[in-house]
């Protein structure tokens, strides 16, 4: 079955079963590997993308359910002001360790800032508790989100 996806501002046609999780379409069919597999049951958040600006777990989003919604992945998050702020804050505080969960963390954090420009600790806990980090970078994630909220979104992000 063919589906036309609106992903990172581009139209992409894919030919897969309708019940294929969006995660595997993004990774294996479209060849964008920044979005990660962690659990397959929406428990860990490694696969987080934005669908119409909201954080969504792509491992539990069937491709047939997406329709014409705008999908954004880690590869394009720097095109948003909040994405740039979060990436810059992550780099400023050296949040990452193994880095595997961080695409998902950044997508969740960017969605949080869009909703709540100056989040409280409770807002952070709430928005980020669906994203597991086994390296235990939570202390820095918390700090980085608070830091990101203070940044100028037009600042150039490294890389």
Partner 1 sequence: MYMKGTSSKSSPVDTRLSRRSFLFAGAAAGGGLLISINASMFRADRAAAADAQVTTFAPGAFIRIDKAGNVTAIIPQVEIGQGVYTSMPMLLAEELEVEPNQIRVEQAPPDDKLYANPKLGFQATGGSTSIAAFYEPFRHAGAVARTMLVAAAAETWGVDASGCRAENGTVIHDASSQRLTYGDLSAKAATLQMPDKVALKDPKDFKVIGRSLKRRDSVDKTTGRAQYSIDFMLPDLKVAVPQASPIIGGKLVGMDEKAALAVSGVRRVVRFDDTVAVIADHTGAARKGLAALNPQWEGGALTYSTANLVSDLDKAAAGEAVVATNEGDVKNAASVAATTLEARYESPLLAHGTMEPMVCSVRITADGCDVWVGTQVIARVQSAVAEATGLPVEKVRVHNFLMGGAFGRRLETDYAVQAAMIAKQVDFPVKVIWTREEDFQHDVFRPYYVDKLSAGLDENGMPTAFSHRVAGSSVMARWTPAWFVNGLDPDAVDGAAGPYKFDNPLIEYSRSEPPAGLTTGWWRGVGVTHNSFPVESFIDEMAVSTGKDPVEFRRVLLAQSPRAKAVLDLAAEKAGWGTPMPAGKGRGVSVIVLFGTHVAQVAEVSVDPQGDVRLERVICAVDCGLVVNPDGAKAQIEGGIIFGASAALYNAIEIESGRIVQTNFDTYRVMRIDEAPKIEVFFVESDQPPTGTGELGTAAIAAAIANAVFAATSKRLRRLPVGLDVTAK
User: Measured between alpha carbons, how far apart are the two ends of the chain, in Å?
Assistant: 37
Determine if 75 is a binding residue for partner 1 (CB under 8 A): yes
Give the residues across from 62 on adjacent strands. 21
Specify whether the CB–CB gap between 130 and 112 falls below 8 A.
no
Determine if 132 is a binding residue for partner 1 (CB under 8 A): yes
Number of H helices, E strands in the chain: 5, 5
The CA distance from 99 to 101, in Å, is 6
Determine if 91 is a binding residue for partner 1 (CB under 8 A): yes
Determine if 49 is a binding residue for partner 1 (CB under 8 A): no
Q: Which stretch binds partner 1 (CB under 8 A): 31-39, 64-72, 110-118, 146-154?
A: 31-39
What is the nearest approach in angstroms of partner 1 to the Cβ of residue 27?
7
Determine if 153 is a binding residue for partner 1 (CB under 8 A): no
Site string for partner 1, 99-128 (x = CB under 8 A): xxxxx--x-----------------xxx-x
The CA distance from 92 to 69, in Å, is 33
Tokens of 159: 């890389």
What DSSP element (H or E) covers 88? helix 81-92
What is the nearest approach in angstroms of partner 1 to the Cβ of residue 147?
13
Nearer to partner 1, 68 or 136 (CB): 136
**Nearest partner of 71 among 53, 87, 57, judged by Cα:** 53
Residues that bind partner 1 (CB under 8 A): 16-17, 19-21, 23-25, 27-29, 31-41, 43-44, 46, 73-75, 78, 87, 90-91, 94-103, 106, 124-126, 128-142, 158-159
């Amino acid at each position: 079955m063919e589906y036309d996806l609106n992903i990172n501002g581009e139209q992409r046609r894919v030919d897969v079963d309708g019940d294929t999780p969006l995660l595997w379409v993004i990774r294996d069919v479209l060849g964008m590997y920044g979005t990660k597999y962690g659990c397959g049951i929406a428990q860990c958040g490694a696969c987080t993308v934005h669908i119409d600006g909201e954080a969504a777990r792509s491992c539990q989003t069937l491709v047939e359910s997406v329709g014409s919604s705008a999908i954004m992945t880690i590869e394009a998050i720097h095109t948003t002001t909040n994405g740039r702020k979060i990436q810059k804050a992550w780099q400023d505080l050296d949040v990452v360790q193994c880095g595997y969960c961080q695409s998902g963390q950044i997508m969740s954090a960017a969605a949080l800032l869009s909703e709540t420009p100056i989040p409280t600790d409770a807002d952070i806990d709430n928005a980020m508790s669906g994203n597991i980090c086994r390296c235990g970078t939570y202390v820095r994630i918390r700090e980085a989100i608070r830091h990101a909220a203070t940044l100028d979104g037009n600042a150039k992000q490294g890389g």
